Structure 1
Amino acid sequence: MKKLVGLFFALVLMGSLLAACGDDEVTVATDTNYVPFEFMNTETGEMEGFDIDLIYEIADRVGFEINLEVVEFDGILAGMETGRYDIGIAGMTITEDRAKVFDFSDPYYDAGLVLAVRADEEEIQSIDDVDGRPVATRAATTSEDYLVENTDAEVRLFPDIVNAYQDLIAGRVDAVIYDVPNVLYYIETEALGEMKTVGDLLTGEQYGIAFPADSELRAQVNEALAEMKEDGTYGDIYEKWFGERP
């Protein structure tokens, strides 16, 4: 009888340990469509991209399972403020205002903003030429902040940047301002000679992974990022999506 009781408690303990292991699930919020960082593969129905590969590799190294939630970018920002999400990764620029509300990892990508126009556009040669003109970008991004703070353009905001590009090609706006890697990727893969960039790189920005304030995950993620950069894994993922090593 004692052996049976002992076996029963051993099984209960084992079940508790297994349950505890299964509790290491982290809710990660990502964007709906920011190519090539995160986007839906319509053939497989799975999210893909640089950020997706990056966070899954980090999860393997830190030791947690990912519960991936795909939401609009401004929803990620709101969710990080309330602590709804454990991690946010969505090509998110590290800014002073955001850093006051939630924490960031060490920077993992160097970016900036660039102006795009139709391929036959001749009057707009730089950001100095957009005053009074309809210029599109994505809502709740640093691109919107830049337009409002540095130009007198007629700002048109979209929840999805692809809609802004389509309005540009259709002639409904005169220019689009957005993050360099996304603009260049769209020009190369979708615009098919109908768009071009003009002017200089407008800002120097860095992307970071977001966490609620004082999250214990931040230090673990930073350690994993550092390891990935040192052993070449980060470079492999970067080359896969951008065609060259950083």
Structure 2
Amino acid sequence: MKKILTSILMIAFALCLGGCDLPWQKQAADTTEKAQTIESSKVKGTMEGMKLTVGVSDEMAPFSFYNEEKKELEGFDIEILKGISDYLGFKYETKILSMQEIEEQIKSGDIDFAIAGISITDDRQEEFDFTDSYYENTISMAVNKDSGIEDRKDIQGKIIGVEEGTANARYVDEYMKEGNTVKYFSSMEEVFKNLEEGKIDVTFYDTTGVDYYLENHTDTNIEALSEELNSEQSNYGIMFAKGYKYLDHFNVSLQVLNTDGEYQEIKDRWIGTDN
């Protein structure tokens, strides 16, 4: 598990005595407060009796998607969510939402948090709290095979399709919009459909998602360019409203999943050992 969960050493975290705010939630440092280290075992089960509503995606394979045969949600994120729930003790119901709806409903309090392959971007961190990153990703360019695009410089003057409201759309708006036509879609399913049909030339999407699509669509008109765009703002985190009371509990539970090997088992099952 590369470079993730770095803000927690071992499986412990600092809590202020007397119920004060968590260190990273303070507006100013308070050097008079004493802190004690509480082991992860003292976090286990501390959210028992709670029923939380969780925003998820139903089309972001292999992280969170709807299995038509099983008639249920599954994927990497769904199993991470279950592992956290089992450790902290809360029960939950999932709510399938778009990224835009997730942001709106976290702000309104209609959902408690979201895990849906959500990139920890600078813009989002101004409005939301995140756990430490639980998965590192990169951005890939997927193109229609007849587009004539062989590398990034060939994109000039082409039609780019992206899912609206996502970190990838923001990347395109910031770096690729000039001189190109950008079309926005409500889902990656629509993006890939239009890319297959040649109605758009290229899309920018998380590398793991592109790889999964190509592995599961052998008869495809889409191919991935070899260049990957490395961006720290592609890393995934669980998203909460600002000042969420149990953020530290989630960070500890993620670290425990990593330490006890459950994280790697889930990752191997859904993403593979080479990613």
Counterpart of 2:222, as a letter, is: M
1:13 is matched with none
Larger helix share, 1 or 2? 1
How far does the alpha carbon of each residue in 1:82-104 deviate from its partner, in whole angstroms, 9 at most, with x for none? 23211110000001111111100
Tell me by how many angstroms 1:213 deviates. 1.2
**Equivalent residue for 1:183, pick from 197, 210, 214:** 210
Shift of 1:227: 0.6
Give the one of 26, 46, 51 matched to 2:77: 51
Task: Write the distance in 1 (CA, Å) between the matches of 2:85 and 2:212.
Answer: 27
Q: Deviations over 1:191-240 (max 9, x none)?
A: 53422111521132210001111112211111110011111000000000
- C-alpha contact (below 8 Å) 1:235/1:245 kept by paired residues: no
**Corresponding residue of 1:72:** 98
Q: Percent identity?
A: 29
Question: Contact conserved, 2:196 with 2:220, CA < 8 A, in 1?
Answer: no
**Distance in structure 2 (CA, Å) of the matches to 1:241 and 1:26:** 25
Structure 1 counterpart SS, 2:199: coil
Alignment partner of 2:235: what SS? strand
Q: Structure 1 CA distance, aligned partners of 2:246 and 2:221?
A: 43
Alpha carbons 2:138, 2:206 under 8 Å: kept: yes
Count of residues paired in the alignment: 225
How many Å separate the matches in 1 of 2:76 and 2:48? 27
* 2:250 aligned to which of 213, 221, 228: 221
Aligned to 1:149: 174
Deviates more, 1:82-91 or 1:187-196: 187-196
Contact 2:48 2:89 in 1 (8 A): no
Moved more, 190-199 or 132-141: 190-199
Q: How does 1:56-135 map to 2 (within 5 A)?
A: 56-121=82-147, 123-135=148-160
Shift of residue 23 of structure 1? 4.5
For structure 1, which runs of at least 5 residues remain unmatched after alignment? Answer: 1-20
- The letter for the 2-side match of 1:125 is E
* TM-superposed deviation, 1:51: 0.3
Would the alpha carbon gap of residues 245 and 216 (structure 1) be closer, same or farther in structure 2, given more than 3 Å must change?
farther
In angstroms, what is the RMSD of aligned CA positions? 1.7
Q: Which has the larger radius of gyration?
A: 1
Instruction: After TM superposition, give the deviation of residue 41 of structure 1 in Å.
Output: 1.0
The Cα shift of 1:177 comes to: 1.1
Q: 2:51 aligns with which of 19, 25, 32?
A: 25
For 1:178, what is the secondary structure of its paired residue? Answer: strand
Per the TM alignment, residue 22 of structure 1 is displaced from its structure 2 partner at its CA by 7.9
Measure, in 2, the Cα distance between the counterparts of 1:192 and 1:218. 43
Q: For 2:189, which of 156, 159, 162 is the aligned residue? A: 162
| Alignment-derived partner of residue 198 in structure 1 | 225
Q: Distance in 2 between matches of 1:166 and 1:35?
A: 15
**Structure 1 residue 136 corresponds to structure 2 residue 161:** yes
For 2:175 and 2:109, locate their aligned partners in 1 and report how far apart those are by CA, in whole Å: 32
Q: Is the 8 A contact 1:127 1:199 kept in 2?
A: no
TM-score, scaled to structure 2: 0.78
Aligned match for 2:261, one of 215, 232, 240:
232
Please tell me the residue identity of whatever aligns with 1:76: I
SS at match of 2:63: coil
SS at match of 1:60: helix
> In the alignment, which residue of structure 2 is the partner of 1:211?
240
